[in-house]
Amino acid sequence: MNAQIPPVLRPEHPSARSISGLVDEFGLESIGSLDGVEVTGVTLRTNEVQPGDLYVGMPGANSHGARYAVDARAAGAVAILTDATGAEFARDAGLPIVVVDSPRAALGDVSAWVYRTADHPPLILGITGTNGKTSTAYLLEGILRQLGLVTGLSSTAERHIGDLTVVSRLTTPEASEMHALLARMRESEVRAVVLEVSAQALSRNRVDGIMFDVVAFTNLSHDHLDDYADMEEYLAAKAAFFEPERGRRGVVSLDSPYGARIVDGSHIPVTTLSATPGVVGEWNLSIDDEQPAFTEFTLTGPENRSLTTRVPVIGWHMAANAGLAIVMLVEAGFELEAIGHAMGETGIIASLPGRTERVSGEHGPSVYVDFGHSPDAFLNTLAAVRKFTTGRVIMVFGADGDRDATKRHEMGRVASEGSDILVVTDHHPRFEDPASIRATLIEGAALAEHQAELTEVSPPEQAIRFAVSLAKEGDSILWAGPGHQDYRDIRGERTPYSARAEARAALRESGWSE
């Protein structure tokens, strides 16, 4: 069975805009009559065309999107936007054609124009970095809600519009989807929007046409080197967020060595935050107390301003994410005292799906499901779990197929270093051989100075049951990789699957509480 692909959220009451107005405003070329033609939406996919849409035909790896212009018209598209090559393919559709040099480069500004997202925008806050983007986004949204604002969120895990929630497709959707989402948020009177922004989103124009009030950088570590030639190119993609056409102000964490380089290269005003002893930022964070249910910290800033609060998850890195969220709000114009008052004695109220999420009960082993899928994420999460484990740390993990394979050895090594028992299994194999992925992870584990007791178990449903069968009272199990996701990608098929549900079932079957 193929898991349902989440829907694109669009405005429910779009306002029409004339194609001739688009051509005039942007000084574009066109083919065919534009008289009386009005568009109400923008899409790249023929299977998502709605009546009144502007269909954008982009060149792709295997085919040009304009080749499907006839299908787009049949579905209700009223005009085509494409490049000169695509214009030749699209002629048979008989629709007016708007010609641009690069459809991808034009998509953000065109979508912003169609959906009017630059008119009276809400507060827009964006986070980039290798790890911590989603956690920071949820914590930021949680504080904004405590401040009394109606919020919107776009993250790896979910899209939120007030109380409406849908599962996400990509960390950052295509520009056409992003502007449709912002327009829908405006209809719902959203006052503050939090957007998780990937490096790929910046490189591929997915946040074009959006002016962020505050942008933030969490960290940079080994990941996505299937998309970028090396760490320098990966860093450059992230650094592009700190340009005047993207954001007004920035907040940069100094907890990875790349933070200082982001600051040095920034072309907008930035402030810095450090949660690392010995590294001093304009804001500094220290851990006061760590408990299984929360991490308490103090944030100290310029002019001796300070705030003590707590985040409802374990780990210093989660406190650092919370600190980053708070400083972003200060940079956005909120008073630190007002933020502290809104959080009160309870601290930040937020639920972080699949981020060191405990799925076990009061008795038996502690079982955590986590989305982490990089060496650095493993390092921090294993250390956090270890702190509250009186027995052994058991780790279950796999790796994505058809994604950055260069990090797999290091993933295996870090996993072995930080655990007592290691269970290597499958994640999203996609079109790769799962056994080959597991073999590479096992090779990496063998490089560790500390050799965990290692077992290879496939499929993951069996792997988590094997891990639970080994666990005793006081032990902890960290299942890294699947987190919040509700499917596995096997040879292009999204197979319904929930790590949370599988972990809870394994606990029940072993007689433990969940």
Full 3-state SS string of 71-140: HHHHHCCCEEEECHHHHHHHHHHCCCEEECCCHHHHHHHHHHHHHCCCCCCCEEEEEECCCCHHHHHHHH
What's the rounded Cα separation, in Å, for the pair 338 and 278? Answer: 29
Tokens standing for residue 494: 């999204």
Predicted pLDDT at 170? 63
Tokens standing for residue 448: 């560790």
Q: Report DSSP state, residue 64.
A: B
Two domains, one topology: 123-346 and 357-509:
no
Predicted pLDDT at 223? 81
371 and 462 Cβ atoms separated by less than 8 Å: no
32 and 108 Cβ atoms separated by less than 8 Å: no
Predicted pLDDT at 2? 45
270 and 250 Cβ atoms separated by less than 8 Å: yes
Phi/psi at 32 (nearest 5 deg)? Answer: 90, 170
What's the rounded Cα separation, in Å, for the pair 435 and 429? Answer: 9
Tokens standing for residue 119: 């008119």
Q: DSSP 3-state assignment of 181?
A: helix
| 459 cis-preceded (ω within 30 degrees of 0) | yes
Four-residue CA torsion sign, 324, 330, 332, 334: positive
Dihedral angle over CA of 204, 207, 208, 211, nearest 10? -150
Domain ranges in the chain?
17-115, 123-346, 357-509
Phi/psi at 360 (nearest 5 deg)? Answer: -100, 165
Q: Report DSSP state, residue 210.
A: -
Tokens standing for residue 224: 């996505």
What's the rounded Cα separation, in Å, for the pair 215 and 2? Answer: 36
User: What distance lies between CA 469 and its chain's CA centroid?
Assistant: 33
The Cβ of residue 364 has, within 10 Å, a number of other Cβ atoms equal to 19
What's the rounded Cα separation, in Å, for the pair 282 and 103? Answer: 41
Calculate the alpha carbon distances from 482 to 310, 463, 498, 501 in Å.
26, 13, 8, 12
Over the chain (514 residues), what is each successive 10-residue block's mean pLDDT? 67 96 97 97 96 97 96 98 98 97 98 97 97 96 98 94 86 90 97 96 96 97 84 95 98 97 98 97 98 96 97 97 98 98 97 93 95 93 96 97 94 98 96 97 97 97 98 97 91 92 96 88
DSSP run (H or E) holding 179: helix 175-187
Query: Bridge partners of 82?
Result: 57, 99
What's the rounded Cα separation, in Å, for the pair 236 and 415? Answer: 29
User: Any long-range contacts for 63-66 (C-beta under 8 Å, 24+ apart)?
Assistant: 64/89, 65/103, 66/90
Tell me yes or no: is domain 17-115 CATH 3.40.1390.10.
yes
Q: Which residues contact 398 (CB under 8 A, 6 or more apart)?
A: 424, 425, 426, 427, 434, 437, 438, 441, 460, 481
For 388-411, the DSSP string reads T-SS-EEEEE---TTS-GGGHHHH
Q: Listing from the earlier edge strand, what are the strands of the sheet with 158-161?
A: 164-167, 158-161, 151-154, 192-196, 123-128, 212-217, 247-253, 270-274, 283-291, 294-300, 306-311
CATH of 123-346, picked from 3.40.50.300, 3.10.590.10, 3.40.1190.10, 3.40.640.10, is 3.40.1190.10
Predicted pLDDT at 4? 55
Predicted pLDDT at 27? 97
The Cβ of residue 148 has, within 10 Å, a number of other Cβ atoms equal to 8
- Percent helix, percent strand, percent coil in the chain, to nearest 5: 35, 25, 40
- b (16+ CB within 10 A) / e for 94-126: ebbbbbbeebbebbbbbbbbbbbbeeebbbbbb
Tell me yes or no: is domain 357-509 CATH 3.30.9.10.
no
H, E, C per residue of 222-286: CCCCCCCCCHHHHHHHHHHHHCCCCEEEEEEECCCCHHHHHHHHCCCCEEEEECCCCCCCCEEEE
- HSE at residue 108, side-chain half, CA atoms within 13 A, is 16
